[in-house]
Structure 1
Amino acid sequence: MQDDRLDGVLFDHLMLEGEQKAHISNYTDLTALLTSADLKWEVPHDMVEWIWIHMAINAGVTSTAARSGNLENPEQLALNLMNSSSELSLVIKTIREALKVVEARGVNLKLYKAELLPYKIPAWIAGKAMKIMFAKNELTRKIMTLHNDKQDIFYCCQSVYQTGQELGVKMPILEANMKGISI
């Protein structure tokens, strides 16, 4: 936000808390506004759980991208990651560890089965598939390079990692990644 102006990107699909949990009086107006703007929304089982799942996924991706260096150039780290199927395979393994942290928080991951399915296939296959996806899908590639706020990246990784430590989750890959990160 600069000069009372929010500069950002809004995709055509977003996540929205369910009406019963949102506790806002104009929920119907909000969904009507989204519809009028041709925006689609999805209501997850639980928004806070969904956020934790996505923090775990982001921690897996960004800690792997940054593990061999500092976060001074997050865009270049993302580009390097997207061009390496072996690094992307490691991302899958790291995400699996980070999801164990989410599960240890009490989240029933079975409720998010469809969303987590890509992380269940063998890591070497997933790494190759992700490399192809990033090479062919410009929007997905752009999302990876635009997520470059160093403090945000580090906060996400650190939050998942510290929670895992507090809950006694074994996460050797994530731990090794975190030891390699400097900001």
Structure 2
Amino acid sequence: MRILFFGRGVISVQYAWAMEQAGHTVEFYVRQGRKETFGSSIELEMWDARKGKQLVKENWNVTLHEKISPGYDLIIVSVNTEQLPAAAQLLSAVAGSTPILIFNNLWQDLKSSISPLSMNNVVFGFPGGGGGIEDNRLRGGFLKMLFLEQPRAGTEAINNKVKVLLESAHFKIRWIKDMQNWLWNHFAMNAAMEAEVLRLGSFAAVLDHSDSFANVGRSMREMIPVIKARGGKADATSLLLTKIPPALLGTLFNKLVFAKGSLARLFMEYNNSRAGFAIHEVVREAKKLGIALPRLAAALENSGQHKEDVSG
């Protein structure tokens, strides 16, 4: 397949590298002026966990474009959540009938999040990896598992195309029956994590404080009513975060999920993205619904980000 990745972020680069290794042609769309800034290669230092735990270290040559031309079999979009509306607007004008995989975190309802694109031309998924890029050096990695929505009426052919592509690159798909609900829960979890990042200064710092994940659980308890008010429900991960006593939850995450040397911990340590957007989105929605979120509101207040508009 000939695949265009929208953006040259950490997720796009890692999965594009994996697709190229599987024999596919991969290229990137970047904003005007970024082609020269980024250059024709990127330094990789990432863990590939599809077949064991293998460290990839290489200077990878990439093809960048500042315009989107026809001829691609698939476009994969993985951008910062706040950038998705502009990406969808651009793709609606230039992508034509090329199928699109939205590989992204989302808080809006699915249809609104990709408007004016047609839902019949889009499938939604979520990566199983992370990390960060700094000074043209990517550090992070990806797991064998990733997430893909079960086909909706009208998307069967696109889902199958994405399935064939991912399996050709030796990824294992976990099918999600209700992608909307799954993403709402995942976005809320991100907001809870970002509250700790604002409190402590970085994603890496969160890993070094025993109370961080206990606080994540407490914040999730506040947000479950927001998810339910939107017509969703707590999924398995949210139930884990809200039902386990906070002290035990902190131990579970620090000692097991993010144990020293684990890939999950490495992905977090290298994450240098700016925290706050997920909190603003959840707080804005909660205000519309008349639901108080004191922990998240305090995180914004203490960081000074409360000055930004969260009134909707």
Range of TM-score over shorter length: 0.7 to 0.9
Corresponding residue SS for 2:276: helix
Q: Residue 121 of structure 1 aligns to which amino acid in structure 2?
A: I
Q: 1:15 aligns with which of 123, 147, 152?
A: 147
State how many pairs are aligned.
171
Question: What's the TM-score once normalised by structure 2's chain length?
Answer: 0.49
Residue equivalent to 2:164: 32
**Once structures 1 and 2 are overlaid, which stretch shifts more, 1-10 or 138-147?**
1-10
Once residues 12 and 44 of structure 1 are traced to their aligned partners in structure 2, the CA distance between those partners, rounded to angstroms, is 16
Once residues 36 and 157 of structure 1 are traced to their aligned partners in structure 2, the CA distance between those partners, rounded to angstroms, is 37
Gap runs ≥5 in structure 2: 1-7, 9-29, 36-63, 66-77, 79-132, 306-312
Shift of 1:107: 0.2
Shift of 1:10: 4.6
Residue 148 of structure 2 is aligned to residue 47 of structure 1: no
Closer, same or farther in 2 for the Cα pair 1:154/1:175, shift >3 Å?
Answer: same
Corresponding residue SS for 1:42: strand
Question: What's the TM-score once normalised by structure 1's chain length?
Answer: 0.80
C-alpha contact 1:14 1:40 (8 A) present in aligned 2: yes
Residue 208 of structure 2 is aligned to residue 86 of structure 1: no
Residue 271 of structure 2 is aligned to residue 177 of structure 1: no
C-alpha contact 1:85 1:127 (8 A) present in aligned 2: yes
- Give the superposed CA RMSD: 2.5
Residue 187 of structure 2 is aligned to residue 65 of structure 1: no
Closer, same or farther in 2 for the Cα pair 1:146/1:46, shift >3 Å?
Answer: farther
Post-superposition CA distance 1:43-73 (Å, at most 9, x none): 223212211111100000111221366xxxx
Residue 143 of structure 2 is aligned to residue 143 of structure 1: no
Corresponding residue SS for 2:189: helix
Bigger strand share: 2
Q: Percent identity?
A: 26
Shift of 1:89: 1.1
Closer, same or farther in 2 for the Cα pair 1:32/1:91, shift >3 Å?
Answer: same
Q: Residue 33 of structure 1 aligns to which amino acid in structure 2?
A: L
Corresponding residue SS for 1:148: coil
Q: Residue 130 of structure 1 aligns to which amino acid in structure 2?
A: F
Higher relative contact order at CA 8 Å, sep ≥6: structure 1 or structure 2? Answer: 1
Residue equivalent to 1:131: 254
Residue equivalent to 1:100: 225
Q: Residue 136 of structure 1 aligns to which amino acid in structure 2?
A: K
Shift of 1:24: 5.6
Bigger helix share: 1
